[in-house]
Chains A and B, each alone.
Chain A
């Protein structure tokens, strides 16, 4: 049986500082995340965004909001 590739939610943030703050919050909350360049199909910004597994997306959103991390948008697959 083959496992399907995980789907991800992207949290767009205003700047790298916000991305790192978000990463720090998610790590503390025990939610795996990655910082990746913002896909050009989503935004023309040259920065990075937070990527979390879709299943953990809502939990991540709550943790980020709870820590006042500014989110400028989300993107689901």
Chain B
């Protein structure tokens, strides 16, 4: 019989989901099922209520006064592309960091080829960003700073508030990739100072895949933000021109309403637990994981190794054993689900010194337990011991 799964891949997507998530999705499919905003009948109106409640839930969690500023997208990548492609024009200059995911770097590199100038600020080998370097990189053509709030590889928390002050002082916009952090940290968008905040629904917000979005702050002139797609919105139907108001300007096509029903349930569940309490619990578990892995001979934990300065996303390498083989053996022999390789973030691995082999990432979620951590540490310990016996580990 295969071993029980110890799921430590929450940075890829959280699992298991809180039970109300699936229940809400089933309820929508069984009892509503209609297309929001496209018809005037009761089921279509109820579907629109489901979407609006999800908007309200996300806005409420993040201290956003107007739910209409929450734009739903298919995922964080979609939202980042919307923001970057929508805002940037040839001749403008953007500043970013060397800890970004490819969902930021790939659109930026493509835009660079189209005439956008790009400066990538080198972070330390622990993944830490020096705000002074960002300040020094700003020039006359700079219009945007884009950065992650927390690394998807080693969880490092970035100094977003300090960068927001720099952005304000230079009249720049700040786009924050919150794919890992939204739901994992208590966040008030205004206190954070982000002008645009990207989130995904299926990670720390505990919702299903296929949900995510972009929150547009009040400093952003929506007339200057182009939509990524244009099409049917259910509004202004007599016109062949895209609506110019929120949220319809950026939400063409039928929405993932069943997903948003699940997202609303996930966000409510999270709010009931309390983001501060969850963060505290996850930080404690992350500290145990970092400490446990750090005590294993041959293991090198990457990043800050300080649970108070990172999310519960812990990456490590083991001398003498390739990350891909570690991942396979963790799964097959111990039932531990990890993610290995470059985590769609080659530039972060270059920064951390783990490119091109990558690392093994163990990431905790809201429903992770101390048993999960202990199981992972035991499993890695066994692999390290066997590797040493074979003469691999130092």
Which A residues are within 8 Å of any B CB, using their own CB? 14-21, 23-24, 35-38, 44-48, 68, 70
B residues apposed to A, CB below 8 Å = 36-41, 44-45, 48-49, 51-52, 55-56, 66-68, 233-238, 243, 245, 247-248
Provide the residues of chain B in CB contact with A15, threshold 8 Å.
37, 233-236, 243, 245, 248
Interchain CB contact under 8 A, B238 and A16: no
Given contact pairs A15-B235, A17-B37, A48 touches B243 in the complex (Cβ within 8 A): no
Q: Which residues of A contact B45 (CB under 8 A)?
A: 16, 19-20, 35, 48
Max chain A CB contacts within 10 Å: which of B37, B39, B236, B243?
Answer: B37
Point out which of B39, B234, B235 has the most chain A C-beta atoms below 10 A from its C-beta.
B235
Which of B37, B66, B67 sits near A16, CB closer than 8 Å? Answer: B37
Which of A36, A47, A70 meets B234, CB within 8 Å? A47
> Which of A17, A36, A37, A44 contacts B55 (CB under 8 A)?
A17
Set B49, B55, B56, B245: member contacting A70, Cβ < 8 A: B245
A-side contacts of B56, CB under 8 Å: 24
Q: Which residues of B contact A18 (CB under 8 A)?
A: 68
| CB-based contact A47/B248 at 8 Å | no
Q: Take A36-B40, A47-B235 as given contacts and tell me if A20 and B49 are in contact as well, using a CB distance cutoff of 8 Å.
A: yes
> Which residues on A sit within 8 Å (CB–CB) of B39?
37, 46
Task: Establish whether residues A38 and B40, one from each chain, have CB atoms under 8 Å apart when the complex forms.
Answer: yes
**Closest CB in chain A relative to B136 CB, distance in Å:** 40
Given that A17-B68, A20-B52 are known contacts, is A44 also in contact with B36, CB under 8 Å in the complex? no
Give every chain A residue within 8 A of B248 (Cβ-Cβ). Answer: 14-15, 17
Task: State the CA gap A17–B45 with chains docked (Å).
Answer: 10
CB distance from B21 to the nearest CB of A (A): 22
Provide the bound-state CA to CA distance between A47 and B167, in Å.
40
Quick check: B243 and A14 within 8 Å, CB to CB? yes
Q: How many angstroms from the CA of A23 to the CA of B56 in the assembled complex? A: 13
A46 close to B38 (CB less than 8 A): yes
A23 CA to B210 CA in the complex, in Å?
27
B56 and chain A: residue at smallest CB distance: A24
For A21, the chain B residues whose CB sits under 8 A away are 52, 67-68
Q: A21-B67, A68-B66 are in contact. Are A16 and B245 (CB under 8 A)?
A: no
Q: Which residues of the partner chain B approach A37 to less than 8 Å between Cβ atoms? A: 39-41
CB distance from A48 to the nearest CB of B (A): 5
* Chain A to chain B: the 10 pairs with minimum beta-carbon distance, closest first: A37-B40, A16-B37, A15-B235, A20-B52, A16-B48, A46-B237, A48-B40, A44-B238, A35-B45, A15-B248
Besides A19-B45, A47-B40, A47-B237, 12 other CB < 8 A contacts? A15-B234, A16-B37, A16-B44, A17-B37, A17-B55, A17-B247, A20-B49, A23-B49, A35-B45, A45-B238, A46-B40, A48-B45
Chain B residues positioned under 8 Å from A70 (CB to CB): 245
Per the bound structure, the CA–CA distance linking A24 and B45 in Å amounts to 13
- State the CA gap A30–B49 with chains docked (Å): 18
16 contacts between A and B (CB under 8 A): A15-B234, A15-B248, A16-B235, A19-B45, A20-B52, A21-B52, A21-B67, A35-B45, A44-B237, A45-B235, A45-B238, A46-B39, A47-B40, A47-B235, A48-B40, A48-B45
Query: How many whole Å from B224's CB to the nearest CB in chain A?
Result: 20
Chain A residue numbers with a CB within 8 Å of B235 are: 14-16, 45, 47
Cα–Cα, bound, A33→B124 (Å): 58
